[in-house]
Amino acid sequence: MSAKMTNSQGVETITAEGSSDPRPVLMLAEFETADLLMEAATGVRDQGFRLWDCHTPYPVHGLDQAMGIRPTLLPWLVFGGGATGFTGGLLMQAWMNAVDYPFLISGKPFWSIPASIPVAFELTILLSAFGAFGGMLLLNGLPRFYRPHFRSDRFRRATADRFFISIDGRDRQFDVQANSELLTGLGATAVEVIEE
């Protein structure tokens, strides 16, 4: 069980038990609606924070711009997978049926593209799909089962009906006092600090 105390600004601080010198690792600010979050996000971005994030129960349209997220390179991973699948598929068939042990089958040529299309195609899709899924996990650093966020009870609703902004303790501009004021200013209904 982790300890809990509230300071003057009503900023709750949650401290993990057993941590010798508790340092703040995360600040969470809760917002009622997506629109509020959107404005707040713009604000936080403009303050020039680096290690921060928004948490929403569904992908909020336009939030990426508000946060200024750069486009992901996932498509390239997918393309890589696809390309491997296609060439690999063709080569595999050519080698197995036409090179390694050629069989005379129905008087057909040992190697012909049309007969090889279906398998090559399926392998293309398969490996692209692996690329997409695996890439998503990779780029998002998933799976990662522990996060400081999970110490906050409020944060449960991040996956249901509430919107959060989190600022990482390692951010250069991280400062409990200043940041909490900023966030309350931007309309946060509650601000929490997670310590470890």
Shortest spacing between CB 15 and another protein, in angstroms: 8
Taking the complex as a whole, the smallest distance from the CB of residue 57 to another protein amounts, in Å, to 6
Q: Hey, what are 105's tokens?
A: 């089958």
Sites for another protein among residues 73-112 (CB under 8 A): 74-75, 78, 92-93, 96-97, 100-101, 103-109, 112
Say if residues 100 and 111 touch (Cβ distance below 8 Å).
no
Question: Which one of residues 29, 31, 49, 154 is an interface residue with another protein (CB under 8 A)?
Answer: 154
Instruction: Report the distance separating Cα 88 and Cα 26, nearest Å.
Output: 46
Residue 180 in contact with another protein, rule: CB under 8 A: no
Among 10, 39, 87, 153, binds another protein (CB under 8 A): 153
CA 130 to CA 195: how far, in whole Å?
Answer: 38
140 binds another protein (CB under 8 A): yes
51 binds another protein (CB under 8 A): no
- Give the three-state DSSP class for 168: strand
Output the CA torsion sign for 177, 183, 188, 193: negative
